[in-house]
Amino acid sequence: MEKPLDFPRAWELLGKDLFARFVGVELLEIGPGRARTRLVVEERHRNGVGIIHGGAIFTLADIAFAAAANSHGRTAVALNASVSFVTASRGAVLLAEAVETSRGRRTATYHVEVRDDLGEKVALFQGLAYIKERTTLKEGRNDEE
Amino acid sequence: MEKPLDFPRAWELLGKDLFARFVGVELLEIGPGRARTRLVVEERHRNGVGIIHGGAIFTLADIAFAAAANSHGRTAVALNASVSFVTASRGAVLLAEAVETSRGRRTATYHVEVRDDLGEKVALFQGLAYIKERTTLKEGRNDEE
Amino acid sequence: MEKPLDFPRAWELLGKDLFARFVGVELLEIGPGRARTRLVVEERHRNGVGIIHGGAIFTLADIAFAAAANSHGRTAVALNASVSFVTASRGAVLLAEAVETSRGRRTATYHVEVRDDLGEKVALFQGLAYIKERTTLKEGRNDEE
Amino acid sequence: MEKPLDFPRAWELLGKDLFARFVGVELLEIGPGRARTRLVVEERHRNGVGIIHGGAIFTLADIAFAAAANSHGRTAVALNASVSFVTASRGAVLLAEAVETSRGRRTATYHVEVRDDLGEKVALFQGLAYIKERTTLKEGRNDEE
């Protein structure tokens, strides 16, 4: 695991993420343009047919995306995400790994893979972030708008 | 509100959705090819910059999508979803409305709009579902695969 | 059909669109936040299995999206598009209709439906545009970046 | 370059792709679950602001996706694609590289990167394909539907 001090802004951002804590998503690692998250699957994460909810899988991937997008120290907010659900996992743990696929002055893109502890790919996620001018923690998603 | 008896399978499916209950997403209405959901925003739904988490917004939209996709009585599972986040909502309640935009023998598509109680559009969601042959509640996402 | 003078910038932009002309996409109409385009299907638009190419369908939808996004007079450029292909059309003509689903200061979203002359839905498209500060015709996609 | 005989069905499919030929997209290479395509940029590929048209970029990526998806010998058809446009390229040549990110019994996903000859990333593409039971060249996109 990277030391939190290496990417202080991203760790602080995720440390204050109440929904991540509520759902149970853990941030394992942040690197330059990348991050990994984990979810230990519980009954509360399941949908009406007993499989892991798309919303829980998205949340896990989205948090890896957010950590990677904020790893460079400037605030980045999600503009768009596209997710393909490829397997109904029977695993007990899900892991997401986000990798930066492009970074310009105003936008950056991330590819996130979600796997389970059985080695199955569960979902593929492509995220597009907007990079803000300012970097305080107080600002909202598109509040420059 | 539609009476639950009108769309028994979709109501049953959503009634068993543990993640929906955990996050606090309520199913307001199911019609043929459409559905509406609601989320009363609480602190636990916020992210590290204090705005409503993308994962919570996605979950709200995804559940409207699932209810609409299952409204015809055959099991439909999410293959893909694309979401654009357009406003950092300052509202206290989010509402999602899903409308069927196409339905073939094997796939169907849904357009979901998420608004808040201030009248702002918060997110736009496009969902693609796979329609299964069988319709029991016991089956998983892609278990035909 | 709207008179070109009503939306001069968007008509000018599309009038200079060499790829639209090359592929054969016609701009039928521009309104505030909306546009319609048409493609008369020819052999050159088909793929290796003899159906209309996804690239041709995307191009038709993308041009409706671009016209709608530029209808307000400020330059808008595509950041993201998600397209679901729902029917292998047997039609002779494809029509795309773009409708604005949100518009903020910096981003706007559009829902585009592609149908054929047999009344079948062919594709659904969700586009996200970035609205630029400046509005000359000389600027490129993300050249603020 | 792979010898065409190594992936005969995918090469045959792309050899018959009239839109690819019309637009000028060349298939450079097919491997197991991957493919590369190229477009030499001409004036006809530009849009109304003089940059490479999103429809041309999509078409280039889509053909790499199609070749990779059909590399295993079974017919695969596009269900969904999401594309993020990240740079207004000033290059003379675009290259797309598709890599398989998952493959199940019925669906498979592909990540496609589009770069130019200046080394800039131009677009990121995520494709979802449906794998058909039958494999003749005569069938259409979703004609099982």
The answer to whether the beta carbons of residues D104 and B142 sit under 8 Å apart is yes
Cβ neighbours of B143 in A, within 8 Å = 88
Å from C82 to nearest chain A CA?
A: 8
C-alpha neighbours within 13 Å on the C-beta side of residue B6 = 13
Q: What is the rounded average pLDDT for all residues in chain B?
A: 90
Å from B143 to nearest chain D CA?
A: 10
Residue predicted with more confidence, D143 or B16: B16
Of C82, C107, C144, which has the smallest distance from its Cβ to A79's Cβ? C107
Q: What is the pTM of this model?
A: 0.91
The answer to whether the beta carbons of residues A70 and A110 sit under 8 Å apart is no
Count residue pairs from A and D with Cβ separation < 8 A: 47
The answer to whether the beta carbons of residues D78 and D128 sit under 8 Å apart is yes
The confidence band for C141, taking pLDDT boundaries of 50, 70 and 90, is: very low
The answer to whether the beta carbons of residues C15 and C78 sit under 8 Å apart is no
What average pLDDT does the segment C76-94 reach?
Answer: 97
* CB atoms inside a 10 Å sphere around CB C42: 15
Å from B120 to nearest chain D CA?
A: 25
Range of weakest confidence among C28-32, C71-75, D43-47, D132-136: D132-136
Q: Look at B48 and A87 and tell me if their CB atoms are within 8 Å.
A: no
User: DSSP alpha helices (H): ranges in chain A?
Assistant: 8-15, 18-23, 54-69
Nearest partner of B57 among D21, A141, C19, C72, judged by Cα:
A141
Q: Which residue does chain D place closest to C57, by CA atoms?
A: D55
Q: Which residue does chain D place closest to A123, by CA atoms?
A: D102
Q: Look at D101 and A113 and tell me if their CB atoms are within 8 Å.
A: yes
Q: Look at B109 and C87 and tell me if their CB atoms are within 8 Å.
A: no
Asked if residue D5 has pLDDT above 80, the reply is no
| Whole-Å CA distances, B18 to A142, D83, D94 | 31, 33, 47
Strands B93-103 and B34-40, by their bridges, are: antiparallel
What average pLDDT does the segment D58-81 reach?
Answer: 96
Q: What pLDDT does residue C4 have?
A: 56
Q: Which residue does chain C place closest to B121, by CA atoms?
A: C102
B31-74 pLDDT, tens per residue?
999 999 999 999 999 999 899 999 999 999 999 999 999 999 89
Asked if residue C3 has pLDDT above 80, the reply is no
C86-102 pLDDT, tens per residue?
999 999 999 999 999 99
Q: What pLDDT does residue B117 have?
A: 98
Q: Which residue does chain C place closest to B79, by CA atoms?
A: C84
Residue A98 in tokens: 């986000």
For D7-64, strand residue ranges (E) read 25-31, 34-40
CA separation for the pair D21, D29 (Å, rounded): 16
For chain B, strand residue ranges (E) read 25-31, 34-40, 76-85, 93-103, 107-116, 121-131
C-alpha neighbours within 13 Å on the C-beta side of residue C84 = 30
pLDDT, tens digit only, all 145 positions of chain A: 455 557 888 888 888 999 999 999 999 999 999 999 999 999 999 999 999 999 999 999 999 999 999 999 899 999 999 999 999 999 999 999 999 999 999 999 999 999 999 999 999 999 999 999 865 444 444 334 3
CA separation for the pair B124, B102 (Å, rounded): 17
Helices A54-69, B54-69: axis angle to 10 degrees equals 150
Residue A105 CB partners (closer than 8 Å, separation 6+):
A131, C144, C145
Which residue has 């009585």 as its token pair?
B73
Nearest partner of B17 among B35, B43, B41, B44, judged by Cα:
B35
Cβ neighbours of B80 in C, within 8 Å = 84
Note the maximum CA span of chain C.
Answer: 44
What average pLDDT does the segment C50-78 reach?
Answer: 96
The ipTM estimated for the assembled molecules is 0.91
